[in-house]
A = this chain, B = another copy of it.
Amino acid sequence: MSIDTDPAEAARQARAEQRSAQLLEAAARLMDRDGPESVSMQSLATEAGVSVGLIYRYFGGKDELLLAVILNVLDAFGTEVPKAMDEAGEDPVHRLAAGVRALCEVIDDQRYAVVLTYRATKQLSPEGRHRIMELELSTMEPLREALRAGQKSGAFEVIDVDLETYNVLLLTHSWALKHWYYERRYTVEEFATMQTAIALRALIPPRQRRKYAALLGNAGA
């Protein structure tokens, strides 16, 4: 806001960004390879090719680092999901389907981070945890909106918007949570397609089934 006049300062900022990104990437690699618990300041430093002390120049502590990893995915959700939904047009059914698919893709790309969301309670500050909950809820907002729109237009028959929205999110999260099980059965593609069909079947009333047969899967009607 007031520093962008200094080119040297800008350069510093840029380098800092880069370092911080480098660390987050190393953390991602580490989690992907050896699981989220394997991230110690030491192992992270080694993986990133820097010294332990340096990490503290870019993150206040381990908690901030983990928080950053999580905020990263939530951010991706917040960007990718609305984008995909908007590209899908107006129809709430197609919008929801697009949202689910986008979620699956981001999740596949950052499985470890999604898992962290369910685990990192210990190492996270209460404020951090709170922030995550808030963000998760706002992430769901577009989905919730689609449900409401579909409900109004009669495309969906909804029992409880809040519950069913969260259910949809969970179905996608399960790709990360139960990856050891799904991994050898489905590709992300298949997974996304099936979960979409399943979620929609729960929402679309009989009379609308024919119209969306393509999304509802094999048997169709």
Contact = CB atoms under 8 A, between A and B. Distances in A.
A69 B203 CA distance: 37
B209 A167 contact: no
Contact of A118 (B37, B118, B186, B201): B118
A15 interface: no
A218 interface: yes
Contact of A194 (B35, B36, B160): B160
A14 interface: no
A96 to B, nearest CB: 14
Contact of A159 (B119, B170, B218): B218
A123 to B, nearest CB: 9
Contact of A167 (B118, B157, B174): B174
Interface residues of A, number: 43
Interface string A98-129: 00000000000000000000110110000000
Contacts of A160: 194
Given A118-B119, A174-B170, A221 B206 contact: yes
B162 A185 contact: yes
Contacts of A118: 118-119, 177
Contacts of A12: none
Contacts of A76: none
Interface in A12-66: 35-37
